[in-house]
């Protein structure tokens, strides 16, 4: 990464840039992303983003968001900007309109070869953010035990980018030359970088992970009631109301371990393309999602938008032969194929709303993608974004994922509102970032737990179609929630408690 000196900084400030990145590059080959997170960030309003590709190798880059001074949070139709714990601005209206406008306040200098996430807004859009997009769904009155904001984004202006291949870490701190509270912004940013560099050489404070008493899973949606909801969904499908709908349940359990131990356990037993740990202070989000919601990235032809529908699941085989047999059986299953084709069509339609004419293509169709414990049918749909569209336009066109709602999408969500007893909250929404670079990467918030007030909340859903068996669909939700529950059990048993071989 190119280092910006004082004269270049002054020139960029004169050109009107109000966010200029200063960087420091050093070796980090003796650390892991987790140990670096503990050294640099381990407090409220920080995060760690990691990726495992194909269930077997880490992605090249990991991102650590250092504690943010400013955040945006939305509850129903009210949005607040909070700096250093104080509300400094309030907006009444559609939060997505405010977020789009808020991003225009930053004129950010982006050097060549910067990582695609180089700072910006990072956090989540809960499932109920769809109510900002669809008038038919504009209700926020469902029971909400968790009580987390519908949207929460950290304004990330200090971060660490870990190059897992090169064994290096890039520290990025943005300076605002227009900030009257910091007369010498360049020197202040350099001092921050120096302080962070010293932290890199400090020992790691490993959070306590001694064994604690195991706790039991609690289900507020009784099994009999869930089975009845599935049957009601099947009745709607038989009547021609819709083709498919995702019906979910929430599980919860007392959980008093440090939330980071839950993430440590989850990343070990369920490595995934999107792994994230967000510490928002009064609650934490821990996830290992296999599925992209939408990605917007720069390409030679313009901004490329990608959706990667994932539906159809089988366990990994104990041997290569069994693994291949499971894959062949999955691809031959007519129910799984029909559901997946429907989701490909939904992805094409979503991208088509914002893409240049003739640019939408299915680049991978119904291929098997293997993860640590399961395999899925996956397809890849891409299109080139219209020139006048921004990242919030992309989000509106694709949110929430068809794989978490059903088809037709809007009517399926009306049925979900009827059949599910509680507000979904984060589940089925999206976690990720809106980068200063103009790029965006959002994962579907599945295989994701919320730790708040001594409780762990986990949700999972199953896709209901005409020939669904209610008992099997209930079992599917249990299986999908199992990774988080198992991770919690491991954390309670004590991660650093030495087990006999």
Q: What is the DSSP string of 280-346?
A: -SSEEEEEEE--EEEEEEEETTEEEEEE--EEEEEEPPSSHHHHHHHHHHHHH-HHHHHHHHHHHHH
- Residues pairing with 306 in the sheet: 295, 382
Q: Determine the pLDDT at residue 55.
A: 56
Q: Is 373 designated active site?
A: no
From the list 250, 304, 348, 376, the catalytic residue is 376
User: Which residues are registered as beta bridge partners of 464?
Assistant: 245
In angstroms, the CA 135 to CA 362 distance is 30
Annotation marks residue 376 as catalytic: yes
Question: Annotated catalytic residue: which of 295, 304, 370, 447?
Answer: 447
**CA pair distance 33, 457, nearest whole angstrom:** 25
pLDDT of residue 207: 76
Please report the sign of the dihedral spanned by the C-alpha atoms of residue 180, residue 182, residue 186, residue 189.
negative
Catalytic residue among 427, 428, 429, 432: 427
Q: Catalytic one among 156, 403, 405, 448? A: 403
Specify whether 428 is catalytic. Answer: no
What is the structure's pLDDT at 58?
A: 67
**Per-residue pLDDT, 397:** 94
Whether residue 302 is preceded by a cis peptide bond, meaning omega within 30 degrees of 0, is: no
- Is residue 463 part of the annotated active site? The answer reads yes
Any catalytic annotation for residue 313?
Answer: no
Query: What's the pLDDT tens digit per position in 319-375?
Result: 999 999 999 999 999 888 888 888 899 899 999 999 999 999 999 999 998 876 778
pLDDT computed for residue 181 by the predictor: 73
Write the DSSP string, 250-272: EEEEE--S-HHHHHHHHHHHS--
> What pTM, to 2 d.p., does this model score?
0.93
Q: How far is CA 113 from CA 2, 16, 295, 302, in A?
A: 9, 22, 19, 17
pLDDT for position 374: 77
Report the pLDDT value the prediction gives residue 54, as an integer from 0 to 100.
59
In this predicted model, what pLDDT tens digit does every residue of 107-163 receive, in sequence order? 999 998 898 899 999 999 999 999 999 988 877 788 899 999 999 999 999 999 999
The segments of the chain whose pLDDT lies below 50 read 501
pLDDT given at position 447: 94
CATH superfamily of 6-291+401-493: Anthranilate synthase (3.60.120.10)
Contact 86, 80 (CB under 8 A): no
At 497 the pLDDT is 65
């Amino acid at each position: 990464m190119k280092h910006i000196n004082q004269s270049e900084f002054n020139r960029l400030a004169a050109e009107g840039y109000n966010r200029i990145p200063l960087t420091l590059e050093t070796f980090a080959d003796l650390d892991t992303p987790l140990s670096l997170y503990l050294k640099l960030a381990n407090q409220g309003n920080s995060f760690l983003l990691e990726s495992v590709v194909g269930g077997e190798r880490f992605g090249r880059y990991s991102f650590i968001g250092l504690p943010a001074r400013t955040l945006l949070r939305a509850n129903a139709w009210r949005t607040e900007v909070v700096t250093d714990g104080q509300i400094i601005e309030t907006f009444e209206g559609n939060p997505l309109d405010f977020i789009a406008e808020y991003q225009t306040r930053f004129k950010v200098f982006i050097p060549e070869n910067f990582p695609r996430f180089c700072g910006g807004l990072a956090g989540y859009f809960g499932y109920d953010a769809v109510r900002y997009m669809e008038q038919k769904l504009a209700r926020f009155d469902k029971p909400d035990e968790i009580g987390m904001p519908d949207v929460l984004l950290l304004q990330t202006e200090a971060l660490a980018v870990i190059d897992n291949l090169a064994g290096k870490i890039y520290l990025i701190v943005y300076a605002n030359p227009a900030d009257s509270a910091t007369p010498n912004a360049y020197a202040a940013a350099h001092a921050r970088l120096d302080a962070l560099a010293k932290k890199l050489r400090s020992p790691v404070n490993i959070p306590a992970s001694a064994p604690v008493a195991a706790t039991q899973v609690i289900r507020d949606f009784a099994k009999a009631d869930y089975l009845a909801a599935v049957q009601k969904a099947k009745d709607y499908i038989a009547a021609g109301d819709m083709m498919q709908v995702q019906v979910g349940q929430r599980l919860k359990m007392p959980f008093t371990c440090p939330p980071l131990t839950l993430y440590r356990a989850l990343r070990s037993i369920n490595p995934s393309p999107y792994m994230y740990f967000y510490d928002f202070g009064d609650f934490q989000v821990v996830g290992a999602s296999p599925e992209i919601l939408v990605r917007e990235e720069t390409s030679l032809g313009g901004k490329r938008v990608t959706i990667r529908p994932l539906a159809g699941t089988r366990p990994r085989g104990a041997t290569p032969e069994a693994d291949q047999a499971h894959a062949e059986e999955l691809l031959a299953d007519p129910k799984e194929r029909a559901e997946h084709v429907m989701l490909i069509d939904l992805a094409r339609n979503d991208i088509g709303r914002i893409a240049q004419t003739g640019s939408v293509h299915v680049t991978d169709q119904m291929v098997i993608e293997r993860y640590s414990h399961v395999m899925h049918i996956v397809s890849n749909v891409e299109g080139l974004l219209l020139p006048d569209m921004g990242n919030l336009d992309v989000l509106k066109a694709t949110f929430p994922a068809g794989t978490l709602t059903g088809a037709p999408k809007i009517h399926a969500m009306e049925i979900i509102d009827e059949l599910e007893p509680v507000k979904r909250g984060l589940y089925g929404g999206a976690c990720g970032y809106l980068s200063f670079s103009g790029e965006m990467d959002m994962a579907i918030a599945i295989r994701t737990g919320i730790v708040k007030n001594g409780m762990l909340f986990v949700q999972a859903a199953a896709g209901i179609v005409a020939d669904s068996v209610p008992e099997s669909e209930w079992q599917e939700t249990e299986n999908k929630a199992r990774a988080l529950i198992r991770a919690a059990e491991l954390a309670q048993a004590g991660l650093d408690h030495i087990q006999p071989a």
